[in-house]
Structure formats: C-alpha cells, structure tokens
Structure 1
Amino acid sequence: GPGGKTITRVLPRDQWTVLITDAHPGYLTWAEFETNQARLAELAAAHGTDRKASPPREGAALLQGVVSCGKCGRRMTVRYRNQKPYYLCQFEGIRNAVPVCQTMVGDQIDAAVGKLLLATLTPLSLEVALRVSDELAARAEDADRLRAAHVERARYRADLARRRYLAVDPANRLVADTLEADWNEALRELAGATEEYERAKHTAIGPLSPETRARITTLAADFPRLWNDPATPMRERKRMIRLLVTDVTLTKTDHIAIGVVLRGGQSHQLTLPRPQAAWELRQTDPAVITTLDELLDEHTDAQSAAILNERGLPSGLGRPFTRQMIIHLRNAYQLRSHRQRLLDAGILTVSELARHLGVHFQTIKHWRRDGIITGVLANDKGEYVFHLPGPEFVRPVIGRPRRSVLDPQYSATTR
C-alpha cells in the first residue's frame, strides 16, 4: 500500500484467486469442514442479513426462526408482550426508521401450524409417503439402467472411433485427421455420459431399509404423544418443527394467510380470522349501547348506570357501570345527555323560566323547594329544568306582606 504499509483485506470465498483443498492431512476432511461451517452459520444467533433460521430458544413462539414476511419476503422476528408471542417484520424499520412492515399475534398461528402437523403425520399419510418413496426408488433404478446403457453406447462409439483411426493409412493425412476428430468427439461424449452417470448415482435415493421403514411408521404414533406432552420443552417442539417444516410465510390483510412448506416440498395454505385489537376486545356490546340510549330519555347518567347494573348488562371491561363510564360512552357514541334531551323537548332552564316570569332565578329555586312549581331532574349535579307554567299557575306574593296597625300581633310587638 501507500507509504510501504501492508493492508490486509478479507474477501469472501467466491473472490479468492486460489483455493487448494486437502493439500495437507488434517483432522477433518474438507467436506466435514464445510458441513460444520454451514451448521454453525445456521445456528448462529446473529450471522448476516440473509439468514433464514436461528437456533431454537426456550420462548413460547413455536415458529421462531422459520417465519418469513409475505409482503417483503424478509425473515420475521419475535417479540413478547405479557408472555404472548408476536411475529413482526422490522428489518427496514430498524435500519431506515420506517414503519414496521407487519405484526401479528402468534399464539393462534402456532396452534394452527401445530394442528396441521398433527393432521399430516398420520399412519395413513406416512403409508402413502412410503409407497411414493418405493415408486420413486423403482423409477430411479430404471433411470440408472438407462444412464448405464447410455454410457455403454458412448464407450462403444469411442472404441469404434479409436479402431477406425488406428486402421487408417498414415499416409492419408486428410482421412486420419477426420477420424481423429471423430475419436476425440466420441471421447468427450463418453466423459460427459460417465460424469452424469456418477453424479446421478451419488445423488439418487435408494430404497428404504426395513429398519428405516419401521422407524417412520413408529413416528406416526410417537409424534402426537410427544407433541402434546406438557413435559416437552418448547425448544424440543421447535426442533421438531424444523425437522418437518421448511418455511412459514405470513400475510395479514383482512385475515391472516399462512403458507406452510414441508420438508418433502408439500405446501399448505391456512386462513385465520384477523385477531381483534385491544379496543375491539374492550368494546361495549352494541345492544347495551342501544339500551343506554333508551334509558337516557328518562334517566340521568348515574341512574342509567344503576339500571344497567340491575339488569346484569356488562361493560366492555366486564366491570359494573359507573357515572363516568356512562359519560365516556355518551361521548364515544355521540349520545345526547338526559339534560340535552329535555332541553330539545322544549323544557326551560331555571334562568329561562326566571326571565319568562320576570323574577330572579333564585326565586324559581325557592318556589321549587316550597312545592309551588315542579321541576325535572336534568343531571346528577342537582340541576332541574321546568315546564312552562300554564294559566292555572298562581303567582305567589313576593316579599313580606305589610301588617296593619289594627293587628293585635302587630300592636304587641310595638309596645
């Protein structure tokens, strides 16, 4: 580097110029080393941004590490709130401060996937899978015989081309060059056919042994028992999930769509109703709101609360109604108060009646207390409203009446 300094830069393996494997004897073979590195990367708690799995933990989220977002395709993480798992896609939210892509409660999703696995791993389904495996193994043997025959034909053509080349007169260079080219082409075909045969031979799955078939059949009875056992730790259930499930994709719209891909490539689509939000779970029954609207025609907030409690109608929180709860419901559902309903019906306030009769509003209050006029309780603060008095109303004499000098009681008090 500049100034004579040595600069070391670590490059990914695909950018290395030279890679020589098994140059020296080691404790592990190169294949074992690669397998260990892949396993370590898979179980790392944090290893790059493209990791699709993580080691199973003790938490209650059954699909931790195998859930993908159905909107952006990224891996979803787990968050716990009040010991309840939530799956959320927050990759872009963490890095670029954008809103979370989607989040959803995980308990119903976990239950649906677990139920799917229990329904899938039945003795009948495993028997069908074993029959399909036997059929694939038989077809693999047929394909192997066809590839072996192809190799033999290529070997025969290469041997024929070699004998033709060796039998030609060396003096005839034009014919010799043509036969040599044919021989080289036959050798290339033989090498390709042999390579394809060896590759397919090593990747093909042979027929299952009787011991393996017995273990698979036993799994149909052991898996439900182990899965439903309360003593089974959540980490072990997650390990069973990873043995059976490749990926789970979640998408939330007006419902929750769950796409489950099993190890064998079989896919399932599940649909769940969208869980209610917290305010929806605490929402008061619409029938109770209708009853409250009827009660407010004749009763105040506190009286309406008492009547609802007597009828056994619950609130959204499951608690007895109070005056403050009735006020909150009135404001939330835009219900008119009892006082407003009385005023809308033409009933007068104490001030309005006082102006109509030409007296002080305190006089109206005294008349109500003395029973001269009758008021209607408008709210829980002791405020009354009044109907306009009819023609039979007799106005009381306002003030203390003057006494005559001939009144004996007056004379006695003035002596």
Structure 2
Amino acid sequence: MALMALASDLPALWNDPAASVETRKRILRAAIKEIIVTVEIRRLQLVLHWQGGDHTRLEVLKNRSGQNRYKTDVATEQLVRELARLLPDHSIAPVLNRLGIRSARGQTWTQLRVRNFRGAHHIPVYREGERAERRELVLHEAAIRLDVSKMTVVRLIRDGLLPAKQVCPGAPYVIREDDLARPTIRQAIARGHPISADPRQKTLSLQ
C-alpha cells in the first residue's frame, strides 16, 4: 500500500531530500517507456512515452555555441565587472565570498574561478595603474596623500566630508584624487576631526 501511495504522488518521491541521483534514475526508467527527440535548428522537440500509454510533448531551446546549463545571474556579472576595474582576481574572490555569492555551480570563489568567469563574460583583467590614470584612489592611498590614518579617512567619508564610492560592502572605497584638495578636508584634519591615528589601534581593513 505504501508503494502504491508513492506511485500516486510521484513529485513527493522525486523531491524527497533522501532521494539520490541513482534513485531518480530508477524512477525515470520505471515511469518512462521511451523518449523520442526531433532535432531542429534552434530547439529540440521531445515526446515522452510513459508506461501505460500516455505521452507528453516538450520543447527545449538548444544552448548557443559556448553556452552551458550553468549560468550566473546578471547582478553577479555586473558586480565582477565593476570590481575588475579596481582589484586583481585574487582580491575579487574574497569580496564575493564575504558577500555570500556563489558561482553558477554553487561553489565559493577562487582566483582561478574569477579569472575563468571574466574570460567567459569578456571582462578585462585589472591592470596595475589604471586607477591612477582615472585619478582614483583607494583607502590606504588617500591616507598616504593626506598623511593620516586609514580610520581617519573612513571617518571623513562617513561624516560626509569626503565623497567616496563603494561598489558593494567589502569592496574598496574609491576616492577621486581631486576631492582630497577640498578645503573642508584640510580644515577637518587641522581641527583634529575626525579622529587621528592612535598607534595602539589596529584595523582589519583589507583595502
């Protein structure tokens, strides 16, 4: 009786977390008599003949050349595209992992996976010096220019005195070099606001 009940509720059996790949294969072999495939230019026409005489027609679009069934969402592609203008591959991987983003296959990111992803999506590799050509600085570079600590620069940004962009949480702050010359920045530093460097303080910032 239990077996008959399962047969009447095939989706429950198929989606059971305990069902292995081999179990699902056995279900298909038991339920489907044959599959007839007609190949067309851009699609596949399938006819599934079930045990018992019923049949189902399906239409499946063919993958384009170079495509596979594993796809990463558009937001991830755009994020990697933005990060690749700021960071090399080995620095992009930990940013994606901290955000909890996974690859199309559900894997964590490594330098190699980022490199392969860029190649598949035609994203140029980060080139040393390109930020300087755009007159853009990251946190530690701005701190050196201003002769203050990185935490001081962060405080300037958070207080709205120093404009900065951040592609996503965990990505570097990007600061325009020209904005460091703002009179309000020098005035704030001269007044001792925001906080100045303290040799006893440490930062976990990787920027």
TM-score by length of 2: 0.39
Larger radius of gyration: 1
Higher relative contact order (CA 8 A, sep 6+): 2
More helix by share: 1
